[in-house]
Structure 1
């Protein structure tokens, strides 16, 4: 009887280890990374890009949908860790948050998960109807943008992360300058006068549309800035992204479709 129990236990452990190793081992120690909010935050910001395409694994290494993965981050008690793999393949796995872990880590992950889940659910939907005039008086509408890939940056003057990425997004515009089918525009909360004064000191290569606070709050329901949208040539939302790094990866993919 005991021999039977030992064999079964051994087989369970063997199966668990096989499931763990099938996709690779964690690139960081899931226990160690939870010991410091700062250390976890640096890892999260640099290594975990929830807007990208990835293979999602639950805590037992079972493949799950991206939607289920993000839902567990938003409402559960998990941290996401990337498993070791080549640079072009992404496996993210859920690991339990330990009882003694700083509660700020869980709260932050829940918020990140909530925002990522909301963004993911917007993909494939029609971008809300718009008719905007930019700072130069050019009219932009859903109809006028059909047949083009549209890159939209949502921001405001006093958003430090929004301004910090200006050099990077300006470089992106330069990189795609020969692509007449790609349009870069930005929605800003601020007034035309405020924006003209600010942009004289901090240039932005996107076309800039002022007074967009109500539209971003009500039509887009944004609660995090910057937020970037990529719209495909049919006017559908291809990606909703939280930072330049995510945008660069997603636009490279969309531009080749």
Structure 2
């Protein structure tokens, strides 16, 4: 069986290189001897309803509106989630999964896909810069998530959605001190980077959630060592920058 990793509407929701998230998922499956393929779907193409993981990336206001319209008409993503697939949504992709989001200078409200119990409204100022969050993994252990955020919308979670991670440096959802949301088959977050190359543990979490099995550590010591070194450097830099900023206040 070949597992499908489906990038949904990159022409609309792909301005931050979020396709890299899908490439990482495919590689981490193949390196473990699990057959996988990358599927690219654009508006007008049917979204396959047998995907293992679907990905929605970042995009502009008009792109969010167009993506919601096309996805509601197609319904393939909805069927895929009902069948057990997992959706990973980043930034604009995260926002359009909620009940509603605003766009434009007049903050016009548009209906989202309703896959997450969240609402997004424009904040007082744009969140731009490195973000570092603390994620509590399913086994109760802690892991840091590193990335880059660039969004004007702030997201409020309802009672059916759970935050993904607690913000250490940055903005995330907004006033709640958290970033992202979890609900049913949907995992969402604000950071780009792309986020999954920066955070291999999060990539494996998505794979485990979709496959329904626990994966052993990647059998590639060279790749693991490089990931660990890069992560440590990014985390050190963002923490150092935060400390310097606090000292100059």
TM range (shorter): under 0.3
- TM-score w.r.t. length of structure 1: 0.24
